[in-house]
Amino acid sequence: MAKKTSNPAAEVVKEDTNAQEMKKPLNVCGHRKIFYIVSIVLIVVSIIVALLGRLNLAIQFKGGTEITYSYEGDIDTSKIESIVDNAIGERAVVTTGESMADSSKTVTLSFASKKGLTNSKQTKLTDALQSELKNNNLEVYGSNDVSPSNGKEFFIKCLVAVIFSVIIMIIYIGFRFRKIGGISAGCMAVVALIHDMLMVFGCFVICGFDIDANFMAVLLTILGYSINATIIIYDRIRENKRIYGRKAEVDELVNMSVTQTIGRSIHTNVTTIMAMAIVCIVCVIAGVTSIMSFAFPLIIGMLAGVYSSNCIAPTLWVCWQEHRKKKLLAQAPAKKKK
């Protein structure tokens, strides 16, 4: 008689599968009302803060004036901001750089304003800076008024890109997951994306960051991360439905699928979040604000993406499926009477 040979690899896979099936599913659908309330509260708070005047539009969207100075030695941007505030009572975004023409050090002051900065204020500001920073030999390198039309054109192009990607996502999800009601799944995924965008907007508003090119960059980055996590969950729902069929209710399928994929979803995002956290720490130590307005909102957006992919999109899809089921059951008696 031939001896039976055991396959250790197959046994390990079997044990992992059994352990996964025995794992108690998270009751995501049962707590969906709490998730919705938390999201709505955060969104409402963000809108209220924005309406109270905390919405800071950058110069490319609002228009204004940019003044560039050449300087020598080292310069403290926070000190320049303080001098600007004391001299003319205006808020300036200060960035340092280097001239491409003669390689001289430059510092640029951006004033976001519909009217721009008057000549008298520019003269007063220059005198104050040269008086306070005598050792840096500040000289006016250039001054120009910025029209908001360029920013609006950039915003419209980004908006078109977002709308186009949303349409493509709905079509793709609708076709790929047609066995679980693909179009409705795609629409709920878009709702989750809008939720993530509003969370990023709230982060910019509450933290006082300028709405600029970084804002659009964060939104476009979050689109990719969030929709990827949602598609993974939908794929698991489809597979579980194929396995269990009508034995499991829709909410049970979603709870099971979220439990099976939430670890992967977190691990996918944690590397990027850790990298951005390190960038934020370096920005705080070095006093750099330009990169901070990208790194920190990106962390918030990625956390919101994990949350919406696991708690918002699938539970909204369950609500839709339950509503559709009730509607069909209500129509059934009417058809029998006919």
**CATH 3.30.70.2040 segments of the chain:** 64-146
Q: Where are the alpha helices (DSSP H) in the chain?
A: 8-22, 32-49, 59-62, 77-88, 119-132, 148-176, 182-207, 213-244, 250-286, 292-307, 313-337
Q: Are 314 and 182 in contact (CB under 8 A)?
A: no
Q: What confidence category does residue 316 fall into, taking pLDDT thresholds of 50, 70 and 90? A: very high
Dump pLDDT digits (tens) for 161-208.
888 888 888 888 888 888 877 788 888 989 999 999 999 999 999 888
Report the CATH architecture of 28-55+150-328.
Answer: Up-down Bundle (1.20)
Q: CA 132, CA 282: separation in Å to the nearest integer?
A: 28
Q: Which of 234, 245, 243, 240 is nearest to 315 (CA)?
A: 234
The more confidently predicted of residues 288 and 249 is 249
Q: What confidence category does residue 15 fall into, taking pLDDT thresholds of 50, 70 and 90? A: very low
Q: What is the pLDDT of residue 333?
A: 63
Q: Considering only the top CATH level, what class is 64-146?
A: alpha beta
107, β-bridge pairs = 69, 96
Mean pLDDT comparison of 35-39, 73-77, 324-328, highest-scoring range: 35-39
Residue 108 CB coordination number (10 Å): 16
Q: Which residue has the tokens 């994929």?
A: 261
Checking if the pLDDT of 60 tops 60, the result is yes
Q: Which of 263, 264, 295, 268 is nearest to 281 (CA)?
A: 295
Q: What is the pLDDT of residue 150?
A: 67
235, β-bridge pairs = none
Checking if the pLDDT of 88 tops 60, the result is yes
Global pTM value: 0.78
**Distances 143 to 11, 67, 296 between C-alpha atoms, Å:** 73, 4, 31
Q: What is the mean pLDDT of the chain?
A: 81
The more confidently predicted of residues 219 and 112 is 219
- Reading the block at residue 268, the tokens are 């996918």
Q: Are 254 and 318 in contact (CB under 8 A)?
A: yes
**CATH 1.20.1640.10 segments of the chain:** 28-55+150-328
- Does residue 64 sit in helix, strand or coil? strand
Checking if the pLDDT of 334 tops 60, the result is no
- Reading the block at residue 222, the tokens are 């979050």
